[in-house]
């Protein structure tokens, strides 16, 4: 348990992806079996049983803590597991010799529900503060240390110098605590049999198009599609089972049951965009956001924000790997596949004719509606390549909207930018008042960042913890892709993908834009 507790401890204060990978991979290499497998299970959301934490703690806490002191502590700490772990004064009546994660869990596995609180009490009595925290988080099933399932698998792959794709391939054939997986990775056993179940393949990503890219292809060599403002997904199905993966390979099937149902009987691996489509119309991104990151989904959510997949590529046609084929050949396969399988909640991303680049540009610059972000350009001759290969796929985002806003708050960044103010909140005028309309973290050069930082230090009027209130003098030209109505922000609007476009050192703050102008840009669907 000590090793796992230390891992959680370190992960909870490590903000960098690389740091997390390093912590996780050394844990996987060094921790004993089956504890490391159990840790992998909780990190990948594959814990076999759920523990009735709320009920058990309600029973247990009054036994060991004064209610007034517990409440004052809980209010201060802000997290139940941590409060219990810290307030606990161990009084072991029963000593457990084996304090491995696995040994502790074994005590719970055979227990009756009414004995759970007693067992947890003994377990907490046998552990130190970090161990108690780790156990409570483990039993709660959500560690909340900023590690996705995909990141955990990537760390595992790094630990043993294999490609994460291979881990994905065998993943579904494995069950916690993954003894066969570790035996194979350590070279002491055979590769687990991947069998039939669907799994994730790395996706192909696009580069933003640059001016000198255009000279490298002719109109007839390029296929164009609308770039939809949703999230990139992969659907893998075997005819008996379907799974939905995010671009990073996280299994998000449970969040979108209607998609799983629609694709369950199909066969293949498809690439597409997940959107919300209601009454035949694609809805703005913030409606899709209502459905993301949920473990379960209510019928009401499904009815209000119906999910839809717009398919644009095929990686496996049934069991045939078609990734080496050209875009044109795959497109033909995709169309045939769709005609054959006809899944509900799905359609094909239609091709936009490319007669000339001039005509395409005209279309690109005039289309701004219904969740379209711009155009995707794909070489007709390109195979489907994992990662972000150069020169094959290009995203051509429509020209952003821009507004002149005034910098009002700034906060220091993290990681590489730790010492500089790189997190900017800006506002627009509502009468004589500036109301915050968004936040941006990028869009400036390192040299500009230093200038901004200097401005902020010299113009701070007040501080609230890490946040500095800045004299409202600096105008930032903010670029963004769309504006949606939002009740989460005081201004009533939310910008999609805001970034600093230009710093207007020259422009007086009074000449910045008004909130009503921004409201006028809200997508009307």
Partner 1 sequence: MPPSPSWLHPNPNGLFCEPGGFYIDPARPVSRALITHGHSDHARSGHDAYLATSETVEVMKLRLGPNHNYQSTRYHETHNINGVTVRFIPAGHILGSAQILLEWQGQRIVASGDYKRSLDPTCAPFEPVACDVFITEATFALPVFCHEPADKEVARLIISIAQNPDRNHLLGVYGLGKAQRIIALLRQQGFTHTIWLHGALVELCKLYERLGVKLGDVRPVSEADAKTLKGELVLCPPSATHDRWAAKFGNAITSFASGWMRVRARARQRGAELPLIISDHADWPQLLQTIEDVEAPEIWVTHGREDALVHQLALMGRKARALALIGFEDEAE
Catalytic residues: 227
Shortest CB 473 distance to partner 1, Å: 22
Shortest CB 59 distance to partner 1, Å: 19
Q: Does the footprint of partner 1 cover residue 464 (CB under 8 A)?
A: no
Q: Does the footprint of partner 1 cover residue 351 (CB under 8 A)?
A: no
Distance between CA atoms of residues 87 and 61, nearest Å: 10
Q: Is residue 245 helix, strand or coil?
A: strand
Q: How far is CA 62 from the centre of its chain?
A: 38
Site for partner 1 in 97-116 (CB under 8 A): none
Site for partner 1 in 18-37 (CB under 8 A): 19
User: Which residue is it, tokens 């973290």?
Assistant: 441
When the beta carbons of 130 and 158 are compared against partner 1, the nearer one is: 130
DSSP per-residue string spanning 354-403: -S-HHHHHHHHHH---TTEEEEEEEETT----SB--TTSEEEEEPPPEEE
Stretch that binds partner 1, among 44-52, 71-79, 266-274, 388-396 (CB under 8 A): 71-79
The correct pick among 25, 83, 246, 255 for binding partner 1 (CB under 8 A) is 83
Distance between CA atoms of residues 242 and 323, nearest Å: 19
Q: Does the footprint of partner 1 cover residue 485 (CB under 8 A)?
A: no
Q: Is residue 145 helix, strand or coil?
A: coil
Q: Does the footprint of partner 1 cover residue 3 (CB under 8 A)?
A: no
Shortest CB 22 distance to partner 1, Å: 10
Q: Does the footprint of partner 1 cover residue 79 (CB under 8 A)?
A: yes
The correct pick among 32, 52, 62, 69 for binding partner 1 (CB under 8 A) is 69
Record the tokens describing residue 170, joined without a space: 């065998």
Which residues in 46-69 are b (16+ Cβ under 10 Å) and which e?
A: bbeeebebeebbebbbeebbeeee
Stretch that binds partner 1, among 77-85, 97-105, 475-483, 516-524 (CB under 8 A): 77-85
Distance between CA atoms of residues 474 and 136, nearest Å: 48
Sign of the CA dihedral with 87 first, then 91, 93, and 99 last: positive
Q: Is residue 525 helix, strand or coil?
A: coil
Distance between CA atoms of residues 508 and 14, nearest Å: 41
When the beta carbons of 19 and 176 are compared against partner 1, the nearer one is: 19
Q: Does the footprint of partner 1 cover residue 2 (CB under 8 A)?
A: no
Shortest CB 128 distance to partner 1, Å: 9
The correct pick among 2, 12, 398, 449 for binding partner 1 (CB under 8 A) is 12
Distance between CA atoms of residues 420 and 457, nearest Å: 10
Shortest CB 99 distance to partner 1, Å: 18
Q: Does the footprint of partner 1 cover residue 76 (CB under 8 A)?
A: yes
Q: Tell me which H or E stretch contains 467.
A: strand 467-470
When the beta carbons of 132 and 379 are compared against partner 1, the nearer one is: 132
When the beta carbons of 72 and 162 are compared against partner 1, the nearer one is: 72
Q: Is residue 108 helix, strand or coil?
A: helix
Q: Does the footprint of partner 1 cover residue 406 (CB under 8 A)?
A: no
Angle between helices 129-140 and 2-12 (to 10 degrees): 80
Q: Is residue 35 helix, strand or coil?
A: helix
Q: Around 82, how many Cα atoms within 13 Å sit in the side-chain half-sphere?
A: 12
Record the tokens describing residue 69, joined without a space: 């002191």
Q: Does the footprint of partner 1 cover residue 221 (CB under 8 A)?
A: no
Shortest CB 421 distance to partner 1, Å: 10
The correct pick among 32, 115, 414, 442 for binding partner 1 (CB under 8 A) is 414
Stretch that binds partner 1, among 60-68, 199-207, 275-283, 350-358 (CB under 8 A): 60-68
Q: Does the footprint of partner 1 cover residue 449 (CB under 8 A)?
A: no
Q: Tell me which H or E stretch contains 440.
A: strand 433-440
The correct pick among 82, 229, 251, 481 for binding partner 1 (CB under 8 A) is 82
Cβ atoms of 347 and 310 within 8 Å: the answer is yes
Q: Does the footprint of partner 1 cover residue 416 (CB under 8 A)?
A: yes
Q: Does the footprint of partner 1 cover residue 155 (CB under 8 A)?
A: no
Shortest CB 412 distance to partner 1, Å: 6
Shortest CB 78 distance to partner 1, Å: 6
Angle between helices 149-159 and 164-171 (to 10 degrees): 120
Site residue total, partner 1 (CB under 8 A): 31
DSSP classification of residue 322: -
When the beta carbons of 86 and 399 are compared against partner 1, the nearer one is: 86
Q: Please enumerate in sequence order all residues whose Cβ is within 8 A of that of 248, keeping only pairs 6 or more positions apart, or say none.
A: 148, 150
Record the tokens describing residue 188, joined without a space: 């002491």
Shortest CB 6 distance to partner 1, Å: 9
Stretch that binds partner 1, among 118-126, 149-157, 367-375, 414-422 (CB under 8 A): 414-422
User: Which residue is it, tokens 């219990």?
Assistant: 84
The correct pick among 466, 510, 516, 517 for binding partner 1 (CB under 8 A) is 466
Q: How far is CA 258 from the centre of its chain?
A: 21
Distance between CA atoms of residues 391 and 85, nearest Å: 54
Shortest CB 142 distance to partner 1, Å: 15
Which residues in 232-243 are b (16+ Cβ under 10 Å) and which e?
A: bbbbbbbeebbb
Mark 111-150 with x for binding to partner 1 (rule: CB under 8 A) and - for no binding: ------------------x---------------------
The correct pick among 78, 187, 190, 520 for binding partner 1 (CB under 8 A) is 78
Residues forming contacts to partner 1 in the complex (CB under 8 A) are: 12-15, 19, 65-66, 68-70, 72-73, 76-79, 82-83, 86-87, 89, 129, 412, 414, 416, 418-420, 453, 465-466
């Amino acid at each position: 348990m000590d090793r796992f507790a230390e891992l959680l401890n370190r992960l909870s204060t490590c903000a960098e992806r690389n740091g997390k990978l390093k912590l996780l991979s050394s844990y996987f290499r060094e921790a004993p079996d089956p504890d490391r497998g159990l840790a992998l299970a909780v990190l990948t959301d594959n814990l076999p049983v759920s523990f009735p934490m709320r009920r058990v703690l309600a029973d247990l806490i009054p036994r060991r803590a004064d209610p007034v002191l517990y409440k004052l502590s809980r209010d201060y700490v802000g997290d139940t597991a941590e409060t219990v772990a810290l307030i606990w004064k161990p009084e072991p009546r029963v000593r457990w010799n084996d304090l491995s994660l696995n040994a502790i869990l074994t005590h719970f596995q055979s227990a009756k529900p009414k004995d759970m609180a007693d067992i947890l009490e003994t377990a907490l009595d046998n552990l130190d503060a970090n161990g108690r925290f780790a156990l409570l988080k483990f039993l709660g099933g959500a560690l909340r240390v900023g590690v996705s399932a995909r990141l955990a698998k990537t760390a595992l792959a790094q630990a043993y110098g294999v490609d994460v794709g291979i881990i994905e391939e065998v993943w579904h054939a494995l069950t916690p605590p993954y003894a066969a997986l570790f035996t194979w990775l350590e070279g002491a056993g055979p590769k687990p049999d991947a069998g039939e179940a669907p799994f994730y393949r790395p996706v192909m990503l696009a580069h933003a198009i640059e001016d000198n890219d255009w000279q490298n292809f002719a109109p007839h060599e390029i296929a164009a599609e609308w770039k939809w403002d949703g999230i990139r997904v992969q659907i893998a199905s075997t005819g008996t089972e379907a799974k939905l993966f995010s671009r990073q390979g996280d299994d998000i099937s449970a969040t979108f049951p209607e998609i799983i149902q629609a694709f369950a009987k199909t066969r293949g691996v498809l690439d597409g965009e997940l959107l919300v489509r209601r009454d035949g119309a694609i809805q703005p991104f913030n409606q899709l956001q209502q459905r993301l990151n949920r473990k379960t989904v209510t019928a009401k959510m499904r009815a209000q924000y119906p999910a839809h997949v717009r398919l644009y590529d095929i990686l496996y046609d049934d069991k045939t790997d078609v990734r080496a084929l050209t875009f044109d050949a795959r497109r033909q396969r995709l169309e045939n596949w769709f005609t054959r399988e006809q899944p509900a909640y799905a359609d094909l991303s239609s091709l936009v004719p490319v007669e000339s680049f001039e005509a395409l540009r005209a279309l690109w610059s005039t289309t701004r509606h219904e969740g379209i972000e711009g155009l995707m350009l794909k070489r007709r001759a390109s195979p489907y390549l994992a990662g972000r290969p150069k020169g094959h796929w290009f995203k051509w985002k429509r020209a952003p909207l821009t507004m002149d806003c005034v910098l009002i708050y700034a906060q220091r960044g993290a990681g590489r930018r730790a010492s500089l103010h790189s997190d900017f909140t800006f506002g627009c005028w509502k009468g004589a008042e500036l109301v915050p309309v968004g936040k941006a973290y990028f869009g400036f050069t390192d040299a500009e960042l230093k200038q901004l930082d200097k401005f902020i230090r010299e113009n701070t009027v007040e501080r609230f913890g890490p946040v500095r209130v800045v004299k409202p003098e600096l105008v930032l030209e903010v670029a963004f892709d769309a504006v949606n109505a939002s009740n989460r922000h005081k201004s009533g609007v939310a910008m999609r993908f805001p970034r600093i476009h230009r710093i207007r050192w020259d422009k007086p703050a009074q000449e910045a834009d008004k909130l009503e102008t921004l409201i006028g840009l809200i997508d009307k669907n």
